[in-house]
Amino acid sequence: MSETAGFSELDCTFMKRALALAERGIYTTLPNPAVGCVIVKKNEIIGEGWHHRAGEPHAEVMALKDAGVRHQDVKGSTAYVTLEPCSHYGRTPPCAVGLVNSGISRVVAAMKDPNPLVSGRGFRILEEAGVSVSFGLYENEARELNRAFFHSIVTGMPYVTVKYGMSIDARVALSNGESKWITSEEARHDVQRMRARHQAVLSSANTVLKDDPSLNVRWQELPSEVRELFPADPGFLPLRIIIDASCVITFNENLFRCPGAIMVVRIGDSDLVKSEIISDSITVLKVPAAFDNPAHISFRHLFRYLNSINVRNVMIEAGRGLVSDIVRHGMAHEIVFYVAPKIMGADAVSAFNALHLSSMNDVPELFISDVSRCGPDVRITCRFKEMSCLQE
């Protein structure tokens, strides 16, 4: 059945506007979802808003406030919202109650909230107050917009995206280790946009010692439309996570001189995850060893801990060793390949280590969700097939 079945052309127009508003929050709302709201009366928009950041008013409140600024009476109007209005008291009051109190007579939502704290309760509050409720309009678009949030809520694990720059023959470095720069300046600027959309960027001690990166967001390299939405404020920089199982990080590396929080992850001596605050910006996290390799950390323990502190998505920027481990353990959900039109040859370093597969049935399968250009390079976004269930 079509997503638009049962809805009018005007319903579609106003929900598209709500989705466009929601998208303005994708760089700042996590750990909350990005949500947009449009209030319509007599087929005209009388108020609109979106959720700007966690702890601030939700989209519905912003839209009602906008209607007030416009001196519009919202009684009898329709609210188009990209996600079921919340029903619980958190840092802000429940939006479902606010809509009821405003006198709105109809709510059209793109989808039901999978969050167990909501999940239909918001709709019930509205319906019990006599508000007409319908949902499912452009649900796929709304689900895609908050893919990381929904995955985190449903699975208890953050959504993990691997970023990989490589040649067209899948090589990531020359045989002597040289890798700067395989991809173009345009691709590297696009990586800044990716970092801005993530709450955490994860790398390895080997990569830090070899490349001495900062791993933060270089605000001046962001596209102008992203700079309008992503504040030049250290508080919005992603958490930088460094896997240091061999304890080789000295804390004198370049990234420790750059603004933003850093978490150094090492192997602990218990089955529990333990954290030690080193300074205002540095934490050392002790994580159990992997069950199949006592020299490696358990990614499952690490990612569950990150989810427990409301880190919804993680971007992996590392060499093939760490990337291959994450893929082999089924911890990656998406890989974004930046492919340069260059041939580096069989003597260059391949993109992945041996995965030790003995059957084609064990080969990880992906599907291509997007292909686009970044200057001379091609950006290919691939998702693992077992993740496709989150689209439904």
Residue positions annotated with a catalytic role: 60
Most distant CA atoms of the chain, gap in Å: 70
Interior angle at CA 67, CA 66 and CA 69, nearest 5: 65
CA distance 108 to 83: 9
Residue 73: CB atoms within 10 A of its CB come to 12
**Inter-residue contact 333 to 179 (CB < 8 Å):** no
| Euclidean distance between CA atoms 383 and 387, whole angstroms | 7
Distance CA 22, CA 44 (A): 19
Under a CB-based contact definition with an 8 Å cutoff, are residues 172 and 164 in contact?
yes
Residue 76, burial from CB neighbour count under 10 angstroms (0-12, 13-18, 19+): exposed
Backbone angles phi, psi at 121, to 5 degrees: -70, -35
Q: Are 74 and 100 in contact (CB under 8 A)?
A: no
Query: Alpha-carbon distance 193 to 94, whole Å?
Result: 32
In angstroms, the Cα distances linking 99 to 65, 74, 139, 174 are: 12, 10, 21, 60
* Kind of pairing between the strands at 171-173 and 349-350: antiparallel
What is the four-CA torsion angle of 160, 164, 170, 175, rounded to 10 degrees? Answer: -120
Q: From CA 100, how far away is CA 105, in angstroms rounded?
A: 8
Angstrom CA distances, 363 to 276, 358, 359, 387, stand at: 39, 9, 7, 15
